[in-house]
Chain A
Amino acid sequence: MSDKMKKLTVTRYNPETDSAPRTQTYEVPYDDDTVVLDALNHIKDQQDGTLTYRWSCRMGVCGSCGMNVNGVPKLTCATFLRDFEGDITVEPLANFPIMRDLVVNMSDFMEKLKRVKPWLIPKEEKSIDEGEYLQTPRQLEAYRQFSMCINCMLCYAACPVYGKHQDFLGPAAIALGHRYNEDSRDGARAERNKIIGSGEGVWECTFVGECSEVCPKHVDPAAAIQREKLANVLDKIKSFILPRGSSR
């Protein structure tokens, strides 16, 4: 490691002793390969073992290392120190309750994820003898992008609507609902859209678009939300014209 040094100002919060978060500044050595997560690990190993944060895969797959770096939601394992001019501030993901230091409470997101039923619910269950549910490459393309979500919650940290109204179902949950709605093997669209199409769902979204900006997996949750808006309106019109059997 080279002898270049970088200052990191990190949020500290100990629920047992602090009434509000404070910050602490550390200096870490870095080179071209050092990511913010490496710097935090260096602090924890060499300087201050009490620093608390989440991480696992170190390769942008598990989605657990999300934090606000200089105010922008980032996967810290994919954010290089070399890309920052001056000092760096590392804060817990915005818009979530802080549990300790850089660890946030994700219960709200987990609950919301469950509510959109992000799993395949076939129209009719097939028995094993009847074989697989087949799908063409084209049908796969319809939802593939939205299946790339790693549940990192960066999009929630970037969304001012979620910041102001905790009721909002939020970008990733809607994108995942959309992913299953668009799956040719699925038949539970109407059921999911009771929530996705509600006031807490797509209609809270005002198309700020920052969710798609920060998404590390190019899921484009903003697109998923706008598409669900259209689909929900079309469904409403259809059910108005054909009160029976309107859901596709």
Chain B
Amino acid sequence: MSAKDYRVPEPGYKDYIKPYPELWWTKKRPYLLFMVREFTALFVLLFAMRLLQGLIAISKGEAAWNAWLAGATNSVALAIGSLFALFFVLFHSITWFQAGAVVSPMRIGKFEVPPSMFVLGNMGLVVAVAAVIGYFSLGG
């Protein structure tokens, strides 16, 4: 929508436009992390789809659920794939919490919770909830 491309020099000017470095994402850690996020987003999608499949299976009854479970545990490829995906989901959740921390900064009284603490706290919560669920689903 820009009316004008300012990287094309105005008449009478000879502005020099530096080409953007091909390997720009190798120049800084945050750039690299950004690229990793872009390329691993697919795993998050696959993970979510697989999870959704499980939920649908639950709603269909015990037989469907058991079949889904068997699929998850019998196929080595699927199990490895799921572990991989889980790893990236956890990796991405750090970014989500980071974004969450800046979107709605948390205050306790006068104390503004720093984003790093917000992220750590939430990740801790994730681990705790997972542990509780794990404990019960593995038969207590």
A residues touching B (Cβ–Cβ < 8 Å)? Answer: 13, 15-16, 18, 20-21, 71, 94, 97-99, 105, 107-108, 111-112, 160, 163-164, 166-167, 195, 198, 200, 206-210, 213, 220, 222-223, 226-227, 229-230
Known A97-B15, A99-B13, A226-B99; contact A160-B34, beta-carbon cutoff 8 A: yes
On whether the beta carbons of B34 and A108 are closer than 8 Å, the reply is: no
In order of increasing CB-CB distance, the 8 nearest A-B pairs are: A97-B15, A108-B6, A15-B14, A223-B102, A98-B16, A208-B34, A107-B6, A226-B103
B111 within 8 A of A: no
Interface residue? B121 (CB, 8 A): no
List the A residue with the shortest CB-CB distance to B34.
Answer: A208
| Bound-state Cα–Cα, A200 to B103, Å | 20
Residues of A within 8 Å of B102, CB to CB, are 220, 222-223, 226-227
Q: What is the number of contacts between chain A and chain B, taking CB atoms within 8 Å?
A: 84
Given A97-B9, A97-B17, A108-B7, A167-B103 contact (CB < 8 Å): no
12 residue pairs A–B, Cβ–Cβ below 8 Å: A20-B16, A21-B16, A105-B15, A107-B6, A107-B10, A108-B7, A163-B20, A167-B2, A195-B1, A198-B1, A220-B102, A223-B102
- What total of chain B residues lie within 8 Å of the partner, measured CB to CB? 31
Do A105 and B99 form a contact, CB below 8 Å, given A200-B1, A208-B34?
no
Which residues does chain A contribute within 8 Å of B1, judged by CB atoms?
167, 195, 198, 200
Given A16-B14, A166-B2, A210-B31, 13 additional A-B pairs, CB 8 A: A15-B14, A20-B16, A97-B7, A97-B9, A160-B24, A160-B31, A166-B7, A198-B1, A200-B2, A207-B34, A213-B30, A222-B102, A226-B103
